Structure 1
Amino acid sequence: MKNQNDSTSQQEHLPEQRQTQRAWYMTAWRWHFYAGLYVVPFLIMLSVTGLMMLYAGSIDNLRLKDLLFVEPAAQTVPVTQQFDAVQQAYPDATIKQYLTPKQPEDVSRFAVVSAAGQGLFVTVNPYTAEVLGSLDRDNNLYAWAESIHGTLLMGDMGDRLIELAASFAVILIVSGAYLWWPRDNASKAGMFRIRLTRGKRTFWRDLHANLGVVTAVFLLLFLLSGLSWSGIWGSKMVQAWNTFPTGVFGDVPLSDAKHAEMNHGDLKEVPWNLEQTAMPLSTPSHAGHHDGQETQETQEKSTQGNSIQGNSTPRKGIQGEVNLDSVVAFARVQGFTAFRVNLPKGEQGSYSILQSTMSNDITDATQDRTLHLNQYTGDVLADIKYSQYSPMAKAMAWGIALHEGDFGGWNKAVNTLLCLSFILISASGVVMWWLRRPKGKVALSAPPAPENMALWKGATVVIAVLGVCFPLAGIAMVTVLLADRLVFARVPTLARFFS
């Protein structure tokens, strides 16, 4: 008798459970739909420009091979001789940076800024010091795609719009995973399957859902690494908490300038966790290094300047004259392989040696390193290594190389497939909406809101937690929620359109 009563109770309770599950499903679908309205065009844009940046270098290598490659020889000429050749060829330009050749057949590159403010890469044969020509740093396929990818060519406004889209995309992933999760025989039938004979709506639903789930983790990694540079979530929250502390520089004087000023426009060259860190200053306090006569004061300063960076064995700076040749030689002795040298900016600037995945110099993030040298004495002002990065900064150092396809052909192939998948997911979402929209009716056809207001509030709390983590998305969600409940549902014309 007891078993019969229990069975009857379960049967009576089953419809209520199904109604609750259905209401939760419709709530998730409604949020998924609203988020998708905003995200889809941005996701397509990010994928297309991502593909452009992925292959821009390969295209340039084919198109500009006479400017980028030379016949290797037995011996290179001094870097200062190459520098002088560039200065003679471009007498009105200011040389900002020297980039070492990565391979024997690669050219040397000097980043210069013309008198008119145009950024150029001047290429030089490292074996003869012959100036081969110049490349426009500001007006090329990569720079153009990067500017759209990061700011929509709209500056801070574009950055905020993209940050909002990326934040909404995180909500899109979470709600999409919930919608995909099998909860009955019908949903299990489409799990990791694309049913070709069940009609158009089923085909596109299976394609959209399964492809979305398979690529969700990768999309999330792309989004989080991109959001780490955004103006609100990135610079104000995540990046600010992971910025390299200047306190480890000891008593080295610091500038008002930040490391981010070494970036070239929208192009990122400086490691992510250093962008907001102040730059060290050069002072001519102990010029004995210039003639190789190191005084006791210099030795003490050198020891102090190296010990504050956490190195067990104090290292001395450059011995002798400090110039581009000695800086490059010192960098190689220190273990730098493919790197760039930023020349001192003004009387208090320093020689900055950078080697990182961020600037595509290397692909092994553990070799990330930034070294600043006093332009007068050659003392080490700061030596920042991967081992000193925060966990988030380490993840970014690896993530950027993967994000940009720097690990070779397999990495490019995977990223290409992912970008194409993101485009297909976005397009399939639009097709699904088009197929289910009411024929002959002007309406947005959003999934209906659940009648259970308590449930609606509960689902809103869950998604609001994500909104708190991503402020712009949180503000937008509150706006949508208020508009949905207070305006769209009460104004007949709007209610019909959003129904």
Structure 2
Amino acid sequence: MRGSTSSQVAENSRAKSLYFLTWRWHFYAGLFVIPFILILALTGLVMLFDDEIEQARYHDLLVVTPQHHELAVSAQVAAVQQRYPDYVVTQFIPSQADNLANKVSVRAPDGINLFAMVDPYSGQVLGTIDRSESWYSLANEIHATLLMGDLGDYLIEVAASLGLLLLVTGLYLWWPRDNASKAGFLKLRMTHGTKVFMRDLHANLGGVLSIVLLFFLISGLSWTGIWGKTLVQAWNTFPTYYTWGEKPQSTLTHASLNHGAEEEMPWNLEQAPMPESTVAHDHSAMNMEMPEMAHGSINVDKIVAKAEQLGFTQYRVYFPNGEKGVYTVAANTMAGDITDPRNDRTSHFDQYTGNLLVDVTWADYTLYAKAMAAGVSLHQGDLSSLNKGLNVFFCLAFIAIALTGIVMWWIRRPSGSSALGVPPRFATSGIWKTGLITLILLAVLFPLGGITIVITLMLDWLLFSRVEKLRLALR
């Protein structure tokens, strides 16, 4: 009897130790991650309402009166070129509604990218919109880099990696194990005080939405500089050597077609090299035979006609960059042109002959690239009004999870002192294998997060537990 009691006490002591160890890691991860959750959720909300914000800000430049016939694309581009003779035309984007203006992207001499808004029926240039000054562009740049370039990208990657640790430890703390944890499982106890209510809201929202948070974290990590571009994106880049064969390739990649922070090219094509137009033939002779060719390039109307023959309906046309550049016609979920990723298509045409050089479709994507293409529409709320409404709810829920975590910490922090209020550490015998394996897996799979975990472990062991002032500050 006495042996049984001793064994039960030891088991309870170990369970308590593991609980507080998990809570300690949850606290450390949350300390770093919560500010980023708030930033990403708030900027995500802005990007979800990009169309509505743009309509409100630029109504006079966007809305036109529908007519029976539209002018040729070349005529619309010519009108823009006449209005802005010193600007370089880089892109044409047809509107997705009859009462909206088309967009011709131009690059100013100082390098600024502008949208020239064109009435497709009259050819009137209605004005310009600075692409870098849109609320979407600003929110997207904060969402991706915190306006800090590579440093901001790395910080977000660390936050997303530690977000996975926050998710795993949160699930462990939320899952019912004893009477105390069962009491608040999937319940909101509103009559038990602020602390209990905040705990229930925080734990149950986080637990129920854990799979949603996992989706946003992984899809977001796929864009980051280390885990995304180096470890994942590079392995899913379109295999140009197989499909393009001996066709000439540029030193430029598909990412060069993006405008600033806007991601317009499919994820698995960004690092792939662009094809090149053949410049060996006599363009002056060809220009005499083909009057529609201007400055050595085939008329854009021919490219649009060829694209429509391939099945393009909604698309954007990228103009050649230099004498070896190509016309590119693309429609994908990343740019928001379409919502069904199975219709993703990127086609490149020789600027002198109009010949199709490369045609990349859904069938050419790797399994992970297909998952990314499908996930982008979900991530951006593009699939439907329901998808958009759910994403708004998810953003608000993540904000609530972050804020309730802050409130819980504020309530339980040591009053009247400058201590941080880190959950206590309890001595235990042996090694918690499950926890150790989880940390090792996270460290191996997500290097920046792993480095942060190792640094935190070393600081916790070398400083926080040994230096009296630091130990008291983290009490």
The TM-score bracket by the shorter chain reads: over 0.9
Query: In 2, are the aligned partners of 1:159 and 1:230 still within 8 Å (CA)?
Result: yes
**Distance in 2 (alpha carbons) for counterparts of 1:428 and 1:492:** 30
Question: What is the match of residue 284 of structure 1?
Answer: 279
**Distance in 1 (alpha carbons) for counterparts of 2:417 and 2:90:** 61
Task: Work out whether 1:375 is the aligned partner of 2:340.
Answer: no
Question: What is the match of residue 395 of structure 2?
Answer: 419
**Distance in 2 (alpha carbons) for counterparts of 1:498 and 1:454:** 24
Structure 1 residue 92, shift from structure 2 partner: 0.9
**Distance in 2 (alpha carbons) for counterparts of 1:175 and 1:290:** 67
1:74-113 deviations in Å (ceiling 9; x for gaps)? 1111111111100011111110001122222222110001
**Distance in 2 (alpha carbons) for counterparts of 1:240 and 1:454:** 41
The Cα RMSD (Å) is 2.0
Question: What is the match of residue 127 of structure 2?
Answer: 133
1:326-382 deviations in Å (ceiling 9; x for gaps)? 001111111001101100000100001110010111111110000001111111111
Count, aligned residues = 467
In the TM superposition, 1:55-94 aligns within 5 A as 55-94=49-88
* 1:365 partner amino acid: P
Q: Structure 1: which 5+ runs fail to align? A: 295-320
Structure 1 residue 153, shift from structure 2 partner: 0.8
Task: Give the 3 Å change call, closer, same or farther, for CA 452–424 of structure 1 in structure 2.
Answer: same
Query: In 1, are the aligned partners of 2:202 and 2:405 still within 8 Å (CA)?
Result: yes
**Distance in 1 (alpha carbons) for counterparts of 2:58 and 2:197:** 45
In the TM superposition, 1:225-236 aligns within 5 A as 225-236=219-230
1:171-220 deviations in Å (ceiling 9; x for gaps)? 10011001101001221111100111222221111110001011111111
Structure 1 residue 67, shift from structure 2 partner: 1.2
Question: What is the match of residue 312 of structure 1?
Answer: none
* 2:254 partner amino acid: H
**Distance in 2 (alpha carbons) for counterparts of 1:325 and 1:178:** 60
Aligned match of 1:476 in 428, 444, 452?
452
Aligned match of 1:260 in 236, 252, 255?
255
**Distance in 2 (alpha carbons) for counterparts of 1:116 and 1:188:** 63
Which deviates more from structure 2 when the two are superposed, residues 462-471 or residues 151-160? 462-471
1:276-316 deviations in Å (ceiling 9; x for gaps)? 0010011134679958999xxxxxxxxxxxxxxxxxxxxxx
Other structure's SS at 1:223 match: helix
**Distance in 2 (alpha carbons) for counterparts of 1:457 and 1:80:** 66
Query: In 2, are the aligned partners of 1:159 and 1:231 still within 8 Å (CA)?
Result: yes
Aligned match of 1:117 in 94, 111, 121?
111
Question: What is the match of residue 492 of structure 1?
Answer: 468
Aligned match of 1:47 in 31, 41, 44?
41
Question: What is the match of residue 304 of structure 2?
Answer: 328
1:5-30 deviations in Å (ceiling 9; x for gaps)? 8xx76554322222222221111111
1:243-278 deviations in Å (ceiling 9; x for gaps)? 111111111111111111111111100000000001
**Distance in 1 (alpha carbons) for counterparts of 2:85 and 2:144:** 34
Aligned match of 1:100 in 94, 97, 107?
94
**Distance in 1 (alpha carbons) for counterparts of 2:429 and 2:261:** 46
Task: Work out whether 1:152 is the aligned partner of 2:146.
Answer: yes
1:137-172 deviations in Å (ceiling 9; x for gaps)? 011211111111111111001110111111111110
The TM-score normalised by the length of structure 1 is: 0.90
* 2:253 partner amino acid: K
* 1:273 partner amino acid: N
Question: What is the match of residue 414 of structure 2?
Answer: 438
In the TM superposition, 1:6-21 aligns within 5 A as 10-21=4-15
**Distance in 1 (alpha carbons) for counterparts of 2:317 and 2:282:** 22
Structure 1 residue 453, shift from structure 2 partner: 5.8
Which deviates more from structure 2 when the two are superposed, residues 357-366 or residues 217-226? 217-226
Query: In 1, are the aligned partners of 2:339 and 2:377 still within 8 Å (CA)?
Result: yes
The TM-score normalised by the length of structure 2 is: 0.95
**Distance in 1 (alpha carbons) for counterparts of 2:439 and 2:49:** 37
* 1:468 partner amino acid: V
Percent same amino acid at aligned positions? Answer: 46
Query: In 2, are the aligned partners of 1:262 and 1:270 still within 8 Å (CA)?
Result: yes
**Distance in 2 (alpha carbons) for counterparts of 1:29 and 1:250:** 55
Question: What is the match of residue 205 of structure 2?
Answer: 211
Task: Give the 3 Å change call, closer, same or farther, for CA 18–284 of structure 1 in structure 2.
Answer: same
Aligned match of 2:136 in 133, 142, 149?
142
Other structure's SS at 1:95 match: strand
* 1:415 partner amino acid: N
Task: Work out whether 1:363 is the aligned partner of 2:358.
Answer: no
* 2:394 partner amino acid: L
**Distance in 2 (alpha carbons) for counterparts of 1:293 and 1:286:** 13
Aligned match of 1:34 in 18, 23, 28?
28
Task: Give the 3 Å change call, closer, same or farther, for CA 388–41 of structure 1 in structure 2.
Answer: same
Question: What is the match of residue 293 of structure 2?
Answer: none
**Distance in 2 (alpha carbons) for counterparts of 1:101 and 1:459:** 53
